[in-house]
Amino acid sequence: MRRLLWIVGSLAALLAVLPSTARAYEDQATLGLAIGYAGIPGSDSVPRNGIDVGLSAGGGFGDAWSIQGLLSYSVFPNARALHVGMAGIEAVYALDIVRFVPLLGAGLDGLLTVRERPARGDFALHFLVGFDYLINSRWCVGADVRGYWVATHAQSPLAPFLITAAARIGVRFDLH
pLDDT in tens, 72-84: 999 998 878 889 9
Any domain includes 76:
yes
Q: Which of 105, 46, 102 is nearest to 74 (CA)?
A: 46
Asked whether residue 55 is domain-assigned, the answer is: yes
66: domain CATH number is 2.40.160.20
Residue 97 lies in a domain: yes
Is 48 inside a domain boundary?
yes
Q: Structural domain of residue 74, as residue ranges?
A: 26-174
pLDDT band at 70; cut points 50, 70, 90: very high
- Model confidence pLDDT, tens digit, residues 32-56: 999 999 998 877 767 789 999 999 9
Q: How many residues does the chain have?
A: 176
What is the residue type of 104? L
Number of domains into which the chain is organized: 1
- The stretch 128-154 carries a mean pLDDT of 91
Residue 113 lies inside a defined structural domain of this protein: yes
User: H/E element holding 98?
Assistant: none
**Residue 12 domain-assigned (yes or no):** no
Single pTM value for the model = 0.79
**What does the pLDDT average to over 138-167?**
88
- Asked whether residue 24 carries a pLDDT value surpassing 70, the answer given is no
Residue 164 forms part of a structural domain: yes
Average pLDDT over residues 79-100: 89
Tell me the C-alpha distance between 98 and 126, whole Å. Answer: 27
